[in-house]
A and B are shown apart, each in its own frame.
Chain A
């Protein structure tokens, strides 16, 4: 089992070693009022790379990925996403947001729109795609997440797992270059976690650049190139999944792993 994992990991690493940088975060700090929530974050993400971010609650992991599409604003340092720097320039922010898909813990589907309308809304209004074309694309993505039969229902009629898959389809329908996942399975009943993870694994295998905040360590082992551990607003440690789980360096990481793995 262990050798199997290390095999896939080395495979995974070689895929992306040659590709260029798509996200570059340099000496980034962020405060919520007086609270220093992110401290000196330096992170390079390569095209096609899949990163899992874990850490205790309040460690700043969600805030970090929310800075990448400017749902949160950083106060110091630089964030460059696909060659565009995040500044106060609203045009740049809109460009980056249309290139970066995001999936939330609470799904955040639009309850007043049908599933299909949820998925094709942004392509129509942001990408200016003709409605018929957008609906066709939306149906393709709904098929990809395996719920085309729910297209004309409202989100409130779906189970949590189905809603989260719609949310993934909604983000994918913008054809993003990067996908951010903010604890996508934390609000789900146990029996629905797998159906969402399956979709995410399929997406990972298609070569999407992914940053995933999650505590699903099986998922991390299977698809991640790199696992990042955060605590107290800092990146404490980052490594390949195999080394991260089998040979954690930092005491804080060891404690965290012992708490989430043995209960």
Chain B
């Protein structure tokens, strides 16, 4: 049946057709055994039961325009037949900006636009004038602070007016972007040959990791003023940012340390043997590889820290979750918790899922070891 070839003349043949294509895929993945076939059918049946109901509630029977809860329900066959997205719609500006003065809301929006430009500048490798993009990214936090808080020619806005998605993004973006460099330095310090430096880093990391974030936030909101000179005011948002940043950086430090330990000592020796000094060796050889290994862990920590930022509710800051919960007590919209939590979940999911996808694409792009 098979054709005979003399040695050295065997051509590359295509694989058998039964191992490729959708039918083969289904056979392999969905119906590979009687049990698997049963489970597949069961799953399809369950989805059939659940999905149509959910879709009706979320999309088909939902109401987008209404003045309040009662108006919403009046438009349905029965109250609660569908989602009342009018609630989210009516509060959308509040959810976005908190109590940021309405006539100044172009400032946070401009800030967000500048942030997106900075992100593109950092993440895209093949931009012309890459160096200037990076300088811009370094300058961005200062520009953002100026735009958001005002002063120097702009109308000042106290940070107590910040809220909603604006506040969540400020806490998330600031703490994540500062925690990475601090975490890297802590990881290097923990591996340093200098005993004093090493001890300080170990104590810091273990203390921060060993204490719940809520505790640190309480410290930020109440105790920190005891340590500061009397009469000095230190913005509560700034204190929270510092605490969340330190908290995330302790975790990042351990993730990066894992990456550093994943490198063979040969890499250090090769860098040393070429005459590269400590910082150059780390900048060019060690950190690019260690950080690459650490990407899944770093993104994991980022996602966790970003969601943990909702804990600022505890000390009375109104992030998207806190503000949403406050709106639930509004008599006009009482009892629309599912709509609110779906909206808040969707917001966090979009943010976290983008981070996860980006991390995957980054891993693929940087995978040079086994590229054939």
Contact = CB atoms under 8 A, between A and B. Distances in A.
Contacts of B266: 104, 106, 108
Given A111-B368, A112-B366, A69 B273 contact: yes
A259 B5 CA distance: 45
Given A71-B269, A108-B266, A97 B368 contact: no
A190 B111 CA distance: 62
A97 B274 contact: yes
Contacts of B366: 112
A156 B369 contact: yes
Contacts of A170: 274
Interface string B274-293: 11110010001100110010
Nearest to A123: B274
A205 to B, nearest CB: 24
Nearest to A109: B270
A104 B270 contact: yes
B368 A156 contact: yes
A94 B269 CA distance: 13
B124 interface: no
B266 to A, nearest CB: 4
B273 A101 contact: yes
Interface in A64-109: 69-71, 90, 94-95, 97-98, 100-102, 104, 106, 108-109
Given A71-B273, A98-B274, A156-B369, 12 more contacts: A69-B273, A94-B275, A98-B275, A102-B273, A106-B266, A109-B270, A111-B369, A112-B288, A122-B275, A126-B280, A157-B371, A174-B275
A154 B369 contact: yes
B371 A154 contact: yes
B332 interface: no
B267 interface: yes
A241 to B, nearest CB: 27
B71 interface: no
Given A154-B369, A157-B372, A126 B276 contact: yes
A154 B368 contact: yes
Interface in B251-271: 264, 266-267, 269-270
Contacts of B289: 110-112
Which range holds the interface residue count of chain A?
Answer: 20 to 34
A89 to B, nearest CB: 13
20 contacts: A71-B272, A71-B273, A95-B275, A97-B272, A97-B275, A102-B269, A104-B266, A104-B270, A106-B266, A108-B267, A108-B270, A110-B267, A111-B369, A112-B292, A122-B276, A126-B275, A126-B276, A154-B371, A156-B369, A174-B275
B314 to A, nearest CB: 42
A35 interface: no
A170 B370 CA distance: 21
B276 to A, nearest CB: 6
A78 to B, nearest CB: 21
User: Interface centre among B275, B280, B292, B366, by most A CB within 10 Å?
Assistant: B275
User: Interface centre among A102, A104, A112, A171, by most B CB within 10 Å?
Assistant: A112
B269 A104 contact: yes
Contacts of B275: 94-95, 97-98, 122, 126, 174
A254 B221 CA distance: 78
A38 interface: no
A69 B285 CA distance: 19
A90 B193 CA distance: 14
A204 to B, nearest CB: 20
A121 interface: yes
Interface string B296-335: 0000000000000000000000000000000000000000
A170 B372 CA distance: 22
A125 B276 contact: yes
B232 to A, nearest CB: 42
Interface in B136-152: none
Nearest to B286: A110
Nearest to B270: A108
Contacts of B270: 102, 104, 108-110
B10 to A, nearest CB: 23
Interface in B327-368: 366, 368
B272 A110 contact: no
A156 B274 contact: no
Given A97-B272, A111-B368, A154-B369, A90 B288 contact: no
B368 A90 contact: no
B284 A125 contact: yes
Given A71-B269, A104-B266, A108-B266, A121 B274 contact: yes
